[in-house]
Chains A and B, each alone.
Chain A
């Protein structure tokens, strides 16, 4: 038995010009699964909720409350909620799929060697990168809407004083590092979990991998939560800065008077 670990997802087949990797395939399947569940829930809504509906409602409602508590504005929260909540359930389910047993037992023979048709979606950096890109772009859009295009640029390129210039540059770097920190946190955790599980399974197939699986289970949910919560906080911060500055300047005016 050999242990092959690759950073890149394996290409299962080509669909037209699109090479379908195992992670892409499963992200499609997961999307359809989530849509089906949500629609099923939506069309079986009852005024007096059953157990499943209640569970669903509680998750949705608590999520909404959390978003509202961080955005501090119901209207904004409603606008951000779909993105953040979809990220959360998508990442959590994507991370939970690998815990359905029996996946590593299957493999497909191709000319490139044996390929497992299953792979944790978030252990594909491409998928994580797409999510991060969406998150970062949303943050920038919110910042631009909140500050105006010139205010947004002025935050990074500030020529008022050398110190302000350096601080602006730091902001720029900080903004760029968000991409890396967000994406590699999720990717690293899940990929490491996968590799760790594989190694443990390779070294000692019985009992020993169980604690690691449990740890992986916790990681799966926490990482989904962390990713979406960080996105939410960044968005909230991006939209808030202007108000803070206004308050500061007002305070200064009051002080001067």
Chain B
């Protein structure tokens, strides 16, 4: 007992200390550590989630980039195809058009030649008529008035026809 006295041990004080410390632990745990650790854990989860999301987004973006590239490549190919196809078509069209034009030209040439020939014929026949008349006229004048016009004319026509 002397030792207890020397150390100042008093059950009332010990009890007070015990209650004090017990309360301290309880209060700190209930209102301090518990909520704070929960808060920290929640934030950790949130950060983890955020990082995960960021990673996912990055992956998605990478994928999107790849898709984009693919699309661009395929679009380029498509464009190339279209261009070459259209070039070919144009070439073909061009040939056709040229052919048509040539045909048309040929046709026009032909018809104009035909016309020219016809005209030539007409002109020649007309000219022949006129020449005959002129000859008749001249002969009339040269020879005399008593010669029958019509007989002469026939004779001349025959002559001209023979010439031909």
Output the nearest chain A residue to B39 by Cβ-Cβ distance: A45
With beta carbons under 8 angstroms apart, the residue of A90, A125, A126 that contacts B24 is A90
CB-CB contacts below 8 Å: B7-60 with A: 7-10, 12-14, 16-18, 20-25, 27-29, 31-37, 39-40, 43, 46
Q: Which residues in B have their C-beta under 8 angstroms from that of A64?
A: 37
CA distance A57 to B38 in the complex (A): 11
Asked if A42 meets B21 with Cβ closer than 8 Å, knowing A19-B12, A35-B28, the reply is: no
Q: Is the Cβ of B32 less than 8 Å from the Cβ of A39?
A: yes
| A120: min CB distance to chain B, Å | 13
Q: Which residues in A have their C-beta under 8 angstroms from that of B10?
A: 19, 126
CA distance A61 to B24 in the complex (A): 20
CA distance A38 to B35 in the complex (A): 11
Asked if A42 meets B6 with Cβ closer than 8 Å, knowing A34-B24, A86-B28, A134-B21, the reply is: no
Output the nearest chain A residue to B6 by Cβ-Cβ distance: A7
Q: Which residues in B have their C-beta under 8 angstroms from that of A57?
A: 36, 40
Q: Is B5 an interface residue (CB 8 A)?
A: yes
Asked if A124 meets B8 with Cβ closer than 8 Å, knowing A34-B28, A131-B21, the reply is: yes
Q: Is the Cβ of B39 less than 8 Å from the Cβ of A126?
A: no
Chain B: number of interface residues, binned into ranges: 20 to 34
Output the nearest chain A residue to B11 by Cβ-Cβ distance: A126
Q: Is A133 an interface residue (CB 8 A)?
A: yes
What is the predominant secondary structure among interface residues of chain A facing chain B?
Answer: helix
Q: Which residues in A have their C-beta under 8 angstroms from that of B35?
A: 42, 45
| B159: min CB distance to chain A, Å | 130
Q: Is A227 an interface residue (CB 8 A)?
A: no
Q: Is A83 an interface residue (CB 8 A)?
A: yes
Q: Is the Cβ of B12 less than 8 Å from the Cβ of A126?
A: no
Residue in A45, A47, A82, A124 whose Cβ sees the most chain B Cβ within 10 Å:
A82
CA distance A45 to B23 in the complex (A): 23
Output the nearest chain A residue to B5 by Cβ-Cβ distance: A8
CA distance A127 to B36 in the complex (A): 28
Q: Which residues in B have their C-beta under 8 angstroms from that of A21?
A: 8, 13
CA distance A121 to B96 in the complex (A): 112
Q: Is A85 an interface residue (CB 8 A)?
A: yes
Residue in B5, B17, B20, B23 whose Cβ sees the most chain A Cβ within 10 Å:
B17
Q: Is the Cβ of A86 less than 8 Å from the Cβ of B25?
A: yes
Output the nearest chain B residue to A78 by Cβ-Cβ distance: B37
Q: Which residues in A have their C-beta under 8 angstroms from that of B31?
A: 35, 38-39, 42
Q: Is A129 an interface residue (CB 8 A)?
A: yes
A-B contact pairs, 7 of them (CB 8 A): A18-B13, A31-B20, A34-B24, A45-B36, A61-B37, A82-B34, A131-B21
The chain A residues found within 8 Å of chain B, CB to CB, are 6-9, 17-19, 21, 24, 27-28, 31, 34-35, 38-39, 41-42, 45, 47, 56-57, 60-61, 64, 81-83, 85-86, 90, 124-127, 129-131, 133-134
The chain B residues found within 8 Å of chain A, CB to CB, are 5-10, 12-14, 16-18, 20-25, 27-29, 31-37, 39-40, 43, 46
